[in-house]
Structure formats: C-alpha cells, structure tokens
Structure 1
Amino acid sequence: MSLENLWVMAVQVDTASAEERERIARSVEGRVPFHSDWILLSTCHRVELYGFGAMPEVDPRLHVKTDKDTVQHLIRVATGLESAIVGEDEVLHQVRLALRNARATRALDGRLQRLFETAIAAGRRARAGRTASSGNLAQRAVAWLDQRSRLSGHTVLVAGAGRMGSSLAHAARVAGADVTIASRDESRARRLARVYGGRGVDLAGGAELAPKSSAVAVALAGEWRELQPWEGEAPPIADISAPTAIPAAVRARLNKDFLGIDDLNLRVQPLPRAYMAAADRLVSTKTLEYVTWLDGGKRGQPGTRPTSNRLGLASKDPTLGSSRR
C-alpha cells in the first residue's frame, strides 16, 4: 500500500463562515456513500474530507494536504491541538462519530479505517495524561453568558437536548443557574431537565420563555423558527449551533449580546504548554506508526473492499472530477 494517494480537503472557521461550512458539508454528504475510500469529518469549526485516490472537485476554499501531512493533521485534530480550546473532548467524539457513520453505511477501505483508529487512539492517550480538563465550548459559552448576566440563582434557558445541549445545561447548573430545557422533542427535553431539577418544554414553549430568562444557551440542529423578535430588553444568547440556529431578525436586535460558534474560535485562555508538548510528541509517534503500517503492506482490516483502479477508487460516483494536486 502507498501513502502517496492519501489526502484531506479541509475548510475551517478562518476561511468560511458556519453557514458556508454547512453548505460545503451538504454538497459532499450525498457523494460520500459512493466511496469506500472517503470519510467526512464535520465539527463545529471545520469540514474535512479524507480519502485515497483521485480528489473530487469541491469548493475551492478547501485547503489540501497530502500524504504524511494528512496523517499528522488528523492526529492533531483528534488530540485537540487544532481546537480553539486545546485538548477539548468534543472533537475526539466527533472523530469517533465520523468513523462510526462511515462504517455503518458502507464497506470501508481498511487504510482509512486504520488511519482514524490511529488518530482516535492518539486522542485518548493524549487526554489520559493530562492533570485537568481543558474545558469545552459549552463551558466557554456559559462563562460568556455569566459575564453578560449573572446566572447564579437565575434561570437559563437551554435550547437543545442533545450532547451539546446537555453540556450547556451542565455548565449552567455548575454556574448556579436554574435550568429550563427546550427541544423539538418535548419528552427528551423533560428527561434531560429532570437530571438538573428543571423544566422541559418544546421549542415553541421555549420561545415564549426566552424573553423572561436571564440568559439563553442554544445547541440545535437547524433554525429555531419559533423564536421571533420581541418587545423590550433581550437576554444575552450564546449559540454554539453550527450553523447558527437563531433567526437573523433576532440576532440583529442583540448586537453585542449574541455569541455565535465562530466567535468561540478565538483562543483567549492560557495555552496548556505541557499538554501541547506531550501531544506533539504523540503526533510524531503515531504518524510514524501509521506510515510504517501502511508501507508494510498490511491489508488486513475487516470490511476492506479492494480498490477498483490504480488510484484506489472503489466508486461509481458520476460527479467525481479530475485529480487535484
């Protein structure tokens, strides 16, 4: 097996907005199931397509890395070295999820499976050696809300009952707030609210409660259409959805009292130098481990499907363009 046909095409927060990244991800998602040798990784701040063989024609803003640089990049992402909050945990979950989704939909190329497994192992090992958590985007969003409006003893409305919504609720409760959960699925909102001793409602109910809350934290998939501008003073809103779930008309009224996912990309905390040094060493070790495995010609991964041409493509995708270098 050869490393020379490995690539990643990536767009990040510094080159495309959350809405633009969502459009790019959607443009690729429909094509991924045709390719055993592609994996799409989509996180809060990045959209990255990994593959072997010919590169597709996608948005020109995607930056291309190849060969060994691709291996290093994915391992850096998994260890949190590329995150706004260095060493945060959510990105490792997203790398795991990308691999899980790929394996669930097709017979995955063993080279890509091994690459992602190597990165995930590096991410786990890097975090096992740290002495304290680096925090996450939800904690930073809630800390920003607390600066805008005192949370302790007051109500925070959390819109979203998924993984990130739960993180927001936990952070708000730790800050001393009373928590109300709103979700498209009211029963799910109630289940999560019980964990924090709060109330669960649907998104329409949440929209009614928002003006009465001290702060609003949001993590939704899709726009919160029930939320409309209201008369009077508006509470600060932190939205870590990608793209933003808050309607434009509401955002326009908030000005500096609105925090979006891209605003959280700025690194404002002191960098964990010890963690970064140890993770950098791990990146080098795991990159060499993967390259050595690949050069050794090991093909034995469950689910590997033989490539159908010399570039390693196992695809019938009619939209595949010429190779980009």
Structure 2
Amino acid sequence: MIGIIGLSHKSASVHIREKFALDKAESAKLAKSIFDNKYIEEVVILSTCNRTEIYFKADKCCSTGAFSILLRYLHDLVGESDEMHKHFYRFQHDDAIRHLFRVVSSLESMVLGEYQIVSQIKEAFNQAKENGTVGKVLKRLFNKALETGKLVRTNTAMSTGAFSVSYAAVEKCSEQFENLQDKKILLIGAGETGELVIKNLYKKGCKNIMVTNRTRNKAEELAARYNGKSLPFHDLMLGIHEAEIIVSSVACKEPILDAGRIMPHLNGHPRVMMIDLGVPRNIHPDVAGINGVSLLNVDDLEEVVAGNKEKKQAYVSVAEVIIAEKVADFSDWLSTQNLSPVIQKIIAAVNQVNLNELAAAKKFHTEEEFQFMEKYGKQVSDKLVNALIKSMKTISDNGRKTEYVKVINDLFSPSNE
C-alpha cells in the first residue's frame, strides 16, 4: 500500500508542529531508520513550517502496523510521548495519493495558491533519491504529483495574488504601519522564505532593509539584490536596536531571541512589530509581553490569508476535477503493477494442475477421450481462474490492499503448489 502519516497547520498548532519539525539531517536519519525496517519498502519525508509528513510504501504488513511503525520511529527521534498521536492524520491507498496531489497543488496550504510548496516537495523527493529510500512506486507517485500541480496552476489562476506566508507577513506590516516605506526593517535569515519577504517589502517601496544571516555572504548577496544592507550575525542586537519591523525565518531548535535578550536593546520606538516565520519558532512567546512590541507567528497570519482563500474558492473545484482524474490514472497504474504478477501466478498454477492431471489420465483413455478431457479441463480451468481473479480483486480492493495481494501471491507461489 501507499500511505501517509503527518500533521499540518490544520491538525496542530505551531507549538506542536515545531516539536516534529525536521532539518535535512534529521529527515535523512529518520528515513534511513524507517527504510531499514523490513516492512517499509520506500519512504519520503516532507518537513516545512506548516507540515511534517512521511510518505511510504509498505506491502508486507497491514496499514495499522505500518502506521504504528512510523509513529514509533518518529517519536523515538524527537522524544515526544504517544499523547501526540491525536494530532497526526493517516491516509492510505487513493486517499494518500489524493492528499499528496492536493498538497503539491497548494490546496492544503495556509495560503491557497502559494508556490513555495513545490520547491519543498522537489527538495524532499530529491533528498530521498540521494538517500536511496525511494523505488519505482514513489518515484512515479512524486513525478505524477508534480505534473498534477503544474497542470492545476496552468489551468486555473490559483497562483495569482498572495503566494506565500511571506507575502501575508508583509501585508500584515502594511496594515499596521501607514508609512511602511520609511520603516527600519531587520530581516533575520536569508533562505527561501527570507528572500520572499524582502522581495515583497521591496515591491512595497521599502528602502531601509537590513539582512543578517549566519552565513554572511548569503546575507550580503540577498541584501544587494534588493538595495538593502547586510549586518554580521554577531551584531544581531544592533539590528534589533534600530529596527521597527523584525522578521525572522531561520532554522533553529531553540528560540534565538527572547524577552530577556531583547529588552535591553530596544531604543524606544513607540511600536515594534516582530514576525516569526520559523518552525520551530525563532522568537520566544514571552516577547509578546514587552510593552510596545507586537509578536506574530505563522499561525497568526491565517486571518490575513482568509480573504485570499475566499477569492480563490472558484478555482478549487476546477483543481479538484484535475486531481481526481490524475488520482484515478495513478491508481489504475498501481493496481496493474500490484495485480499483474499475481494474476500470472494464478493462471500458471491452475493450468499446471490441469496439465498434471491430464498427463496422469492420458494413458487410461483413447485419443478421442483425451481430446474431450483436454477441452473440458480448459473450460474448467478458465472458469476457476476468472473466479479466483474476481475474488482477489474484491478482497484486495482492486490491488490497493497490498497486504492481501501478498498473501494471495504467496499462496500461488511454486513452493506452495
């Protein structure tokens, strides 16, 4: 079977999601551990600010067993209790395929139509290929998912307007400051999210943008592209002192800023807005208690993008039709892959029994009688084969319940004849 287990902004708040947010090294470690389990054949792990999901193929155990295995490995890695299970959704068969196609088409994103998820899925898929944890089925699944996402964007106006949480963050700044163009802005982090932030600030006409990053040359390059200035990361608090708007999006396991560290460096601006786009969070929640400071995290931006969703609902029905067709196509291909070898084994096994019995009976009958027996045996064999295949398709949900396919496959293997 193909399955997915995961959590997202729809099932868990940021303080839960950040516990299961995985960096590249952690994702690789988890994937390798899961892949080494004899029951899991392929695995891809996707971890973004809004979701952590494990996509897998498991034909040697039931769905309940597969989900339990994955949860155990995940909880062992992050050190969280089983109490967190309630935040995870589980999909299998067509529901799992549909979910991935919806994710890559941004129908599951906080910002409907955002494009960043495409690059995130490509990165997760490429990492899985590099680590050797994907095979024929998930390779085809992810390639078809990316094709579906492209088709949705080509045939709808889904990607127009707000296209990322970064955009929503800038819109929130525009709501709070009438003269946004003149505000002193500090951007912490020069990754993909940080670049989207500065790009949208630049479009708004902002002129006083400073960028800091652990890797200095990345900060310098990003700032230069948008007429900003770079700040060495060790001088971060100088930037905090000057800024009226602070947007942070760096990868970290613990907050890099908290109230105790920030307060001595505030310079008396009547209002300071801090936006934390990191998961795990970059800014400790206690900063919200500082007088004159407004703190927002990724979940707080949902109300900003609500209007964007309403405008784009008309496109969702079109996208759903495209996705349904592509899910059916992939499911048909997968069923063929699952059932064809077993069907051939059933045909071969039944025919072999027929031939063996005919051979044993031939010496006791005339040629005319043997020809009649041969014809009759063929008719009985064909009916038996058709009945067995029909039952197999019903029991295995047309090949989707691969654990049943495996049992039938074993029953008709040569060693069991």
TM-score after normalising by structure 1: 0.83
Deviates more, 1:88-97 or 1:58-67: 58-67
> Does the aligned pair in 2 maintain the 1:210–1:235 contact within 8 Å?
no
Q: Aligned residue for 1:259?
A: 296
Q: Aligned residue for 1:306?
A: none
Residue 32, structure 1, aligned to residue 27, structure 2: no
Residue 281, structure 1, aligned to residue 281, structure 2: no
Q: State the Cα distance separating 1:226 from its structure 2 match.
A: 6.0
Which of the numbers 151, 173, 180 marks the counterpart of 2:180?
Answer: 151
Q: Secondary structure at the match of 1:65?
A: strand
Q: Aligned residue for 2:154?
A: 128
Pick closer, same or farther for the CA change 1:215–1:84 going to 2, 3 Å.
same
Q: Measure the CA separation in 2 of the matches of 1:142 and 1:200.
A: 20
Q: Aligned residue for 1:23?
A: 19
Which of the numbers 262, 272, 277 marks the counterpart of 1:229?
Answer: 262
> Does the aligned pair in 1 maintain the 2:31–2:133 contact within 8 Å?
no
Q: Secondary structure at the match of 2:18?
A: helix
Q: Measure the CA separation in 2 of the matches of 1:125 and 1:256.
A: 43
| Identity rate, percent | 22
Q: Aligned residue for 2:232?
A: 202
Q: State the Cα distance separating 1:137 from its structure 2 match.
A: 0.9
Q: Aligned residue for 1:106?
A: 132
Q: Root-mean-square deviation (CA), in Å? A: 2.5
> Does the aligned pair in 1 maintain the 2:21–2:280 contact within 8 Å?
no
Deviates more, 1:187-196 or 1:34-43: 34-43
Residue 88, structure 1, aligned to residue 114, structure 2: yes
Q: Deviations over 1:215-234 (max 9, x none)?
A: 11121111563672224345
Residue 75, structure 1, aligned to residue 101, structure 2: yes
Q: Deviations over 1:239-290 (max 9, x none)?
A: 2111211134434326871110122234421331332122111110110111
Q: Secondary structure at the match of 1:170?
A: helix
Q: Aligned residue for 2:38?
A: none
Q: Secondary structure at the match of 2:311?
A: coil
Q: Deviations over 1:155-204 (max 9, x none)?
A: 22111111110000011111111221111112211111100111111233
Q: State the Cα distance separating 1:90 from its structure 2 match.
A: 0.9
Q: Measure the CA separation in 2 of the matches of 1:298 and 1:67.
A: 12
Q: Measure the CA separation in 1 of the matches of 2:146 and 2:205.
A: 34
Q: Answer 1 or 2: which has greater helix percent.
A: 2
Q: Aligned residue for 1:303?
A: none
> Does the aligned pair in 2 maintain the 1:157–1:206 contact within 8 Å?
no
Structure 2: which amino acid aligns with 1:185? T
Pick closer, same or farther for the CA change 1:156–1:73 going to 2, 3 Å.
same
> Does the aligned pair in 1 maintain the 2:9–2:110 contact within 8 Å?
no
Q: Secondary structure at the match of 2:200?
A: helix
Pick closer, same or farther for the CA change 1:229–1:107 going to 2, 3 Å.
closer
Structure 2: which amino acid aligns with 1:229? I
Q: Measure the CA separation in 1 of the matches of 2:214 and 2:288.
A: 21
Structure 2: which amino acid aligns with 1:31? L
Q: State the Cα distance separating 1:133 from its structure 2 match.
A: 1.8
Q: State the Cα distance separating 1:26 from its structure 2 match.
A: 4.4
Pick closer, same or farther for the CA change 1:183–1:37 going to 2, 3 Å.
same
Q: State the Cα distance separating 1:142 from its structure 2 match.
A: 0.7
Pick closer, same or farther for the CA change 1:254–1:193 going to 2, 3 Å.
farther
Q: Deviations over 1:90-149 (max 9, x none)?
A: 112111111011111115121111111111111112112344624211111011012222
Which of the numbers 45, 53, 64 marks the counterpart of 2:50?
Answer: 45
Q: Measure the CA separation in 2 of the matches of 1:85 and 1:180.
A: 26
> Does the aligned pair in 2 maintain the 1:193–1:200 contact within 8 Å?
yes
Q: Secondary structure at the match of 1:116?
A: helix
Q: Aligned residue for 1:318?
A: none
> Structure 2 unaligned runs (5+)?
36-40, 59-65, 72-83, 340-401, 405-417
Q: Measure the CA separation in 2 of the matches of 1:177 and 1:224.
A: 27
Which of the numbers 288, 291, 306 marks the counterpart of 1:268?
Answer: 306
Q: Secondary structure at the match of 1:84?
A: coil
Which of the numbers 197, 215, 235 marks the counterpart of 1:185?
Answer: 215
Q: Secondary structure at the match of 2:90?
A: strand
Deviates more, 1:124-133 or 1:186-195: 124-133
> Does the aligned pair in 2 maintain the 1:236–1:257 contact within 8 Å?
yes
Q: Which has the higher contact order (CA 8 A, sep 6+)?
A: 1
Q: Measure the CA separation in 1 of the matches of 2:192 and 2:117.
A: 12
Structure 1: which amino acid aligns with 2:118? L
Q: State the Cα distance separating 1:311 from its structure 2 match.
A: 5.5
> Does the aligned pair in 2 maintain the 1:86–1:271 contact within 8 Å?
no
Q: Across the two proteins, how many residue pairs are aligned to each other?
A: 298
Q: Aligned residue for 1:214?
A: 244
Pick closer, same or farther for the CA change 1:95–1:26 going to 2, 3 Å.
closer
Q: Measure the CA separation in 1 of the matches of 2:118 and 2:227.
A: 29
Q: Measure the CA separation in 2 of the matches of 1:51 and 1:255.
A: 47
Pick closer, same or farther for the CA change 1:16–1:249 going to 2, 3 Å.
same
> Does the aligned pair in 2 maintain the 1:138–1:168 contact within 8 Å?
yes
Pick closer, same or farther for the CA change 1:206–1:171 going to 2, 3 Å.
farther
Residue 244, structure 1, aligned to residue 281, structure 2: yes
Q: State the Cα distance separating 1:154 from its structure 2 match.
A: 2.6
Q: Aligned residue for 1:297?
A: 337
Q: Secondary structure at the match of 1:241?
A: coil
Q: Measure the CA separation in 2 of the matches of 1:211 and 1:256.
A: 13
